[in-house]
Amino acid sequence: MRARRLPNRAHAKVIFRHHRSNRNSGRPPATSSSMAAASTERPLQQEPPSLDDLSPSLHGFFVNCSPIQDALETPTSRLQHKTVDECMPFLTGEEHAQHNRYGVPHLDRAKHVRFLHRQLGKLPAGFTSADPSRPWFFYWCLAGLTLLGEDVSGYRGRLMATVRPMQNPEGGFAGGFGQMSHLATTYATVLSLALVGGEEAYDVVDRRTMWKWLCSLKQPDGGFQMAVGGEEDVRGAYCAAVIISLLNLPLELSPDSPACAAGHSGLFSGLGEWVGRCQTYEGGVSAFPGVEAHGAYAFCALGCLSIIDSPHRSIQRYMNVPQLISWLSSRQYGPEGGFSGRTNKLVDGCYSHWVGGCWPLIEACLKGPGGPAPGPAGVENAQRAAADEDCLFSRNGLIRYILCCCQDMSRRGGLRDKPSKFSDAYHTCYVLSGLSSVQHQWSLTAARPHEAVLTGDAWEVSPYLKGEQIFDEEDRVCTTHPVYVIPQHRVQEIQEYFASKQSF
């Protein structure tokens, strides 16, 4: 059996039309109230569902293996066949003791909560090699717990005591004690402090040295290094933009910044152009210009552009949006329903966020605040296609992959890449983030007046209730901001606190 990528955006209207006719065939259109009621009344059943049960709510790509088989076998194709064989028993409900009429099990919330709490405790000796990544463990676990509805403010004191010694005198946070500052671990630390909340936590950050350190990372070509003398890539652009906008740092560059000699005057000067140069011939986004496109870099690029200006202006200004949509939609595979991170790679649960999290930003780019944003003809065609279904990918396909294949239903708990992999904090965080994104609808309702203002974009979120819902309502997770990947109220709280500061 071979999994298939969904056709790209050139064929998107055909898919939308086919999907709509299947969904409405022989049944009246569902209302939001009737769907909500049905989600609470569906009894659990023991027998696996038939394909007829799945077909109305899932496009045929996700219930049947491809009838077309390539006669040329390669190690890559054999691994793909193995992945499909591995996933199918989970996708059809055969591997789950309890599931609803669509073959979808419940989200085992309590088990995943216990798993994340354990990850925040004392870890085995084997984790010693992960010491430079300690802030990431804080962020993954705290963000995951928040998505599951847990209050993480009780970790505030422990987090502050742990990360304060990791802040270096020259600015930024290291991954462990006595190590050099790095943008990735600084990003994770700032988000973790925002998650636990409170002025005491926010004040752990030395904003003056943070600004000086970021100025030293700003490069003559417009991008950011991850560390002084380190690699320059799209992660740096996104992490720096998040830190600057959450902490309300000055945009002016210090005179000794390496970027000043090239004529840059601000931290965001030339950044959008540099990100735009990372878009590849495929339409995706690479780590830096000239290398392979990757799903995580696509999210970092869109997130960065959505910070330096409102997404309906900045994304269209710096990216070829139709090509990007084509590449992103090609990342969803059938019959699995999950996303891959690169061309000809396997599905992986973490791309539920890295690719799935791109769609709210793409939709904001296409629609703008309150309606379609003006743009080139290719963008307008994508807008019309999106308006037909108000969705640019199969939400139910991704939901089924997450709940069926990514949950570790053993005593261990947590979420994972795919059934053959172990759960971990990284996948638990990003699979839940992807689930949140696909279960909700984000809309940009107001835009900042111009790009010189970092705040002013207003986002609204509501449960996504269009079409037939294949998960039970009790399995809906909490929301997370489409740009910052922490709850929206936590973004507002930290931004308002630092906006009230007149100086460092």
Instruction: For residue 248, give the DSSP letter.
Output: T
Q: Are 326 and 343 in contact (CB under 8 A)?
A: no
Burial class (CB in 10 A: 0-12, 13-18, 19+), 78: exposed
Q: Are 345 and 315 in contact (CB under 8 A)?
A: no
Tokens of 495: 């931004």
CA distances from 162 to 135, 145, 204 (A): 9, 19, 11
Element holding 244 (H helix, E strand):
helix 234-247
Q: Are 210 and 169 in contact (CB under 8 A)?
A: no
Q: Are 143 and 194 in contact (CB under 8 A)?
A: no
Residue type, 68: I
Instruction: For residue 347, give the DSSP letter.
Output: B
| DSSP track, 210-234 | HHHHHHHHB-TTS-BBSSTTS-B-H
In three-state secondary structure terms, 225 is strand
Mapping DSSP onto H, E and C, the string for 85-125 reads HHHHHHHCCCCCCCECCCCCCCCCHHHHHHHHHHHCCCCCH
Burial class (CB in 10 A: 0-12, 13-18, 19+), 43: exposed
Give the closest residue to 41 by CA, choosing from 395, 439, 474: 474
Tokens of 384: 């019309």
Residue type, 386: A
- Catalytic residue positions, numbered: 294, 342, 345, 348, 350-351, 417, 424, 427
* Main-chain dihedrals φ then ψ at residue 376, nearest 5 degrees: -65, 170
